[in-house]
Structure formats: structure tokens, C-alpha cells
């Protein structure tokens, strides 16, 4: 009865896409500052118009549905615009890590079949070497960012046929917003770091990007008054999809080319930054910054971090300086954040060490993810919630990647039996919270015993003289393997 004559229609079913966030913001808050970059200011009306110009210019160059456009740039307005303009053209955004070497960049451009490359002039030496390896280089569009530092400017040069602003001028803001007919259409291509062999290309859908951005908005409490500082690279999982989430909230993006403690503190105070994200090293830098680099601010800044849990000393220092830390867990294959260590009011009264221990856990699934648990790798049976039995973290839901580009065998292996296998080893605590113990490939097997490199790193982090630590296995004639710290 309830399915009879009640089919989907255009009036009651529309494809999910993060492109709709910018279109809405341009109507709701057209004159609000959407982007801050040095002295540059862009309203949401400006950001929407410039993104549509980019889409139009790409289309006029014959780039559209199913084509790849690569972007290699720091956190600049052009990088943010690419997250809208490229998919508006129907193309797929391939954000490149600016720390990659020329050989890897060349492989990615060739494997992803990039038709165009938008690149920052400061990265010219690396890009020039990468392009020299290609038989057919893509169209190169240069970003000449006035906020580039003296050293960057000195090293930079224009490599392409056209500069970014001139390229935008080829387009028109009157083009349509280019929202997809099918939400399963690809929006983004990101390459994982290859520990062996070449990196794999992870493909995102419009649906997944929309949902993970909404998960960020809910989990991180983004509202219309949020001011988000870009300390997280936009090339990391599309900035963990905050490139779209902040616009969904009608918030303000504050761009930052390079993370330096003095610049971060200055921008927080100057613009009233409310939210930011970053790897644990960013927290360490801020916590240990000299007093001369710090600028006082009188509000709380929410900062989310992933990877290894911050040690208690860093958390204590961050809280003393006005930051509230949230611990996330995720991978490129899960659009960034997949779980969050959701804070419980009962933890407020704990001492710093106990709170740090709670925060060290990767937590519970994101609201937009259907499943996240720890399972026996052989059977996919959920391990007991005893805080001791180790298994593999597995994920399931709409915010898991479509698959690996041109690699059906790897896609099948990763997504077999209804779950995405992360390769991360973890336990489940009695309260249901997940805690990562190691990567399956990073477990140190010494004398037949499994030793967690993460647990050793946590001990090292407690020493006040240690800023960063990494523990790996070293061959040992007696024990087979022994831990080695760097």
C-alpha cells in the first residue's frame, strides 16, 4: 500500500551534492564575508560567482563531465573555489599534496588523466620537473598568490599558458551551478600514500561529500557565526570536507598558506576564529610556541585533530591557551572523519591525565556513517567490548569511498563482505568506544609477542623534551624484531 503510486519524482527526490551549500549561502548571506586571505575579502556572492566563472571557463576549454582537473596549491581562495567550480563543470577535482615529489605527481597526473592542472607559482620547481616526465602535459593554469612569502615568490615562476585570474575572466558567472543528475557521480579523486608501489586513487561521490560535510556541521557545532581557520590542508580529504561544511553553515573561511604558530595566534585574535583542524603536530607547535609568538584571545577555539592522540601535557597546554580539543579518526577512504571521541559530561571532573586517556580513544561512529566497529579480520565477527581483544576497524555506510580508480582488485579486497577494512588494529571498550592500537602493518612482533608502536610512542610523548616520535620495527637476531624510536 505505502509503495503504490508513491514513486520518486523530481519534486520529491533530488541528488545530494555539496554544491548546493554554496548556492544556498549566496542567497541567504550574499554580502557576508565568505573568505579572508590577508587583505583580500570575498563575500558569498563573490565566491559563488567566481566558482561559476571557473566552471564556465573549464567548459569553454572542453573540460566537463568525467574529466579530471588537478589542483596543487596551499590553502588559498583559488583552492577553495576549485572545490566548487571544478565539479560545477561536471569534472572531478584531484587535489594534490604539495609535499609530493615530481615522480609521484607525474604518476598521479597520468593515472588520473588530468586535462588541466591549477598550480601555485611557488611550487613551480616541483611541478616543472613533474611535467617534464609526461608525454602529454595538461593545460597548466598558474595561481599567482600575492600572499606568497618572499622565499616562495623567489622560487616561483609561471609555467602555464594562462594565470588563474585571467582564466576566470574567460568564464561567465551566469553559467548554471552544475549540480549532478546523479548523486553517485564522482566529485573528487584523492591519492593515498603508497607504502609499497604506486599510490591508489580514492574516488568520492557527490552524495558522500554532502553527507560527510553535514556530519562535520553537526559533530563540530558549525553555525552561521563560525569562523574556520585553514590550518588543515585542503588537499587532505578535501580538507576533511570542511571546504563544503563551512559553506553549508554560512561561516567564514580564513585561508592560511603555511602553518606557523605566530600566524595562527594572530589570525585567531584578529578574526575571532572559532574552529580549526590539524594533525597532532599542529597542536604540539601551538602548545610549545614561545610566548612572543602568542596573541591572547578571550574566547574558546574548537580544534579537531586526527591521527595519534595528543599527550596529556599537550592537551593541558592547549586548554590553558583557550583551545578545546576533539579527537577524530578516519582515512582518505572515509572522506576524512569517520568516528569522533564524543565528550561525556561525566569526564569533566577527571584530572588532566584521565581526561587525556579518554580523549585518546577514537570514539564512536559519525552521525552520517552507518557502521563502525572492531571485528576479527578473518570472520568479521565483532570483538568483545572488553578493552583488550584486538581486531580490525571496519566501516560501512554512505561516507565510504566509491572505490579505487582503475583498480577493481583493490576495491574488491577493501570493500568485500559489506565492510571497508581499514587495516587499523583496535579494541572496543565497555562503553562502546573504539581505541586504535596500531596499523596492522606496523605491529612489532618481538619474541612472538605483538608490541604496539603507538603505545610506545605514547610513553615517549610524556617526556617534556619530545615533540614528535615515531616507532618502527628493527630486525633483531634474537627477538626477530625490536622497537626502534625516531
What digits encode the pLDDT tens for the residues 398-415? 999 999 999 999 999 999
Q: What is the mean pLDDT of the chain?
A: 91
**Strand pairing category for 227-229 and 201-205:** unpaired
Q: What is the per-residue pLDDT for 278?
A: 94
Q: Bridge partners of 278?
A: 305
Residue 483: strand, helix, or coil: strand
Q: What is the per-residue pLDDT for 447?
A: 44
Average pLDDT of the residues in 300-324: 88
Higher-confidence position of 460 and 57: 57
Average pLDDT of the residues in 430-452: 69
Instruction: Grade residue 451 by pLDDT with cuts at 50, 70 and 90.
Output: low
User: Looking at the predicted structure, is the pLDDT value of residue 443 above 60?
Assistant: no
**Residue of 299, 43, 331 lying closest to 192 (CA atoms):** 331
User: Looking at the predicted structure, is the pLDDT value of residue 309 above 90?
Assistant: no
Instruction: Grade residue 444 by pLDDT with cuts at 50, 70 and 90.
Output: low
User: Looking at the predicted structure, is the pLDDT value of residue 103 above 70?
Assistant: yes
369-398 b/e (C-beta count within 10 Å ≥ 16 → b) = beebbbbeeeebeebebeeeebbbbbbbbb
Report the distance separating Cα 468 and Cα 229, nearest Å: 23
Average pLDDT of the residues in 454-464: 71
User: Looking at the predicted structure, is the pLDDT value of residue 452 above 80?
Assistant: no
Report the distance separating Cα 477 and Cα 469, nearest Å: 25
Higher-confidence position of 313 and 377: 377
Higher-confidence position of 458 and 215: 215
pTM of the model: 0.91
C-alpha grid cell, residue 197: 608501489
Count of other CB atoms within 10 angstroms of residue 132:
10
Q: What is the per-residue pLDDT for 322?
A: 94
User: Looking at the predicted structure, is the pLDDT value of residue 14 above 60?
Assistant: yes
**Poorest-pLDDT segment among 6-10, 118-122, 226-230, 299-303:** 6-10
Put residue 62 in one of left, alpha, beta given phi > 0 → left and psi -120 to 50 → alpha.
left
Q: Where are the beta strands (DSSP E) in 319-397?
A: 323-331, 336-340, 364-365, 371-375, 391-396
Q: What is the per-residue pLDDT for 1?
A: 86
Report the distance separating Cα 373 and Cα 339, nearest Å: 10
Count of other CB atoms within 10 angstroms of residue 82:
27
Q: What is the per-residue pLDDT for 449?
A: 44
**Poorest-pLDDT segment among 73-77, 172-176, 437-441:** 437-441
User: Looking at the predicted structure, is the pLDDT value of residue 43 above 60?
Assistant: yes
User: Looking at the predicted structure, is the pLDDT value of residue 459 above 80?
Assistant: no
Contacts of 328 (CB under 8 A, 6+ apart): 240, 304, 305, 306, 336, 337, 339, 340, 341, 362, 363
CA 485 to chain CA mean position, Å: 27
Q: What is the per-residue pLDDT for 132?
A: 97
Average pLDDT of the residues in 46-68: 97
Domains of the chain, each with CATH number or no CATH? 19-439 (3.40.50.12780), 444-485 (3.30.300.30)
Q: What is the per-residue pLDDT for 448?
A: 41
pLDDT-above-70 percentage for the chain: 93
29 touches 60 (CB < 8 A): no
pLDDT-above-90 percentage for the chain: 74
**Poorest-pLDDT segment among 62-71, 270-279, 286-295, 328-337:** 286-295
Q: What is the per-residue pLDDT for 276?
A: 98
Higher-confidence position of 470 and 158: 158
Give per-residue pLDDT as tens, 193-209: 755 578 999 999 999 99
User: Looking at the predicted structure, is the pLDDT value of residue 476 above 70?
Assistant: no
User: What does the radius of gyration of the chain's CA atoms come to, in whole angstroms?
Assistant: 23
Q: Bridge partners of 485?
A: 471
Amino acid at each position: 500500500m505505502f509503495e503504490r503510486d508513491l514513486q520518486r519524482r523530481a519534486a520529491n527526490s533530488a541528488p545530494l551534492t555539496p554544491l548546493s551549500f554554496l548556492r544556498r549561502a549566496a542567497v541567504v548571506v550574499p554580502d557576508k564575508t565568505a573568505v579572508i586571505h590577508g587583505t583580500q575579502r570575498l563575500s558569498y556572492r563573490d565566491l559563488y560567482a567566481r566558482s561559476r566563472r571557473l566552471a564556465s571557463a573549464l567548459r569553454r576549454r572542453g573540460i566537463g563531465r568525467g574529466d579530471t582537473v588537478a589542483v596543487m596549491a596551499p590553502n588559498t581562495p583559488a583552492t577553495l573555489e576549485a572545490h566548487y567550480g571544478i565539479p560545477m563543470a561536471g569534472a572531478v577535482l584531484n587535489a594534490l599534496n604539495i609535499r609530493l615529489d615530481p615522480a609521484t605527481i607525474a604518476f598521479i597526473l597520468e593515472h588520473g588523466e588530468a586535462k588541466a592542472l591549477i598550480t601555485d607559482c611557488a611550487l613551480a620547481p616541483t611541478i616543472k620537473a613533474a611535467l617534464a616526465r609526461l608525454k602529454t602535459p595538461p593545460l597548466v593554469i598558474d595561481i599567482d598568490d600575492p600572499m606568497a612569502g618572499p622565499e616562495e615568490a623567489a622560487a616561483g615562476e609561471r609555467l602555464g599558458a594562462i594565470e588563474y585570474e585571467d582564466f576566470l575572466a574567460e568564464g561567465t558567472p551566469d553559467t548554471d551551478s552544475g549540480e549532478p543528475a546523479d548523486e553517485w557521480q564522482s566529485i573528487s579523486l584523492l591519492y593515498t600514500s603508497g607504502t609499497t608501489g604506486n599510490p591508489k586513487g580514492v574516488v568520492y561521490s557527490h552524495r558522500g561529500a554532502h553527507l560527510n560535510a553535514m556530519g562535520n556541521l553537526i559533530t563540530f557545532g558549525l553555525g552561521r557565526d563560525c569562523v574556520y581557520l585553514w590550518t588543515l590542508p585542503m588537499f587532505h580529504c578535501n580538507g576533511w570536507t570542511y571546504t563544503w561544511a563551512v559553506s553549508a553553515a554560512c561561516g567564514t573561511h580564513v585561508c592560511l598558506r603555511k602553518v606557523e604558530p605566530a600566524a595562527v595566534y594572530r589570525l585567531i585574535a584578529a578574526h575571532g576564529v572559532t574552529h580549526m583542524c590539524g594533525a597532532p603536530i599542529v597542536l604540539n607547535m601551538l602548545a610549545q610556541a614561545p610566548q612572543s609568538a602568542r596573541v591572547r584571545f578571550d574566547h574558546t577555539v574548537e580544534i579537531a585533530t586526527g591521527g595519534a592522540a595528543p599527550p596529556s601535557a599537550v592537551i593541558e597546554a592547549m586548554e590553558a591557551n583557550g583551545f578545546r580539543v576533539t579527537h577524530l579518526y578516519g582515512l582518505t577512504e572515509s572522506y576524512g572523519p569517520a568516528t569522533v571521541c564524543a565528550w561525556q559530561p561525566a569526564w569533566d571532573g577527571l584530572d588532566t591525565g584521565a581526561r587525556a586517556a579518554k580523549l585518546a580513544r577514537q570514539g564512536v561512529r559519525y552521525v552520517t556513517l552507518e557502521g563502525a566497529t572492531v571485528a576479527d579480520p578473518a570472520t568479521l565477527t565483532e570483538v568483545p567490548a572488553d578493552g583488550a581483544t584486538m581486531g580490525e576497524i571496519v566501516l560501512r555506510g554512505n561516507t565510504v569511498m566509491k572505490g579505487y580508480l582503475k583498480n577493481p582488485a583493490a576495491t574488491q579486497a577493501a570493500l568485500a563482505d559489506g565492510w571497508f577494512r581499514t587495516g587499523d588494529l583496535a579494541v572496543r571498550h565497555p562503553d562502546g568506544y573504539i581505541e586504535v592500537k596500531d596499523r596492522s602493518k606496523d605491529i612489532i612482533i618481538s619474541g612472538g609477542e605483538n608490541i604496539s608502536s603507538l603505545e610506545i610512542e605514547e610513553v615517549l610523548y610524556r617526556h617534556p623534551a619530545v615533540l614528535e616520535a615515531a616507532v618502527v620495527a628493527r630486525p633483531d637476531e634474537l627477538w626477530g624484531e625490536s622497537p626502534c624510536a625516531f
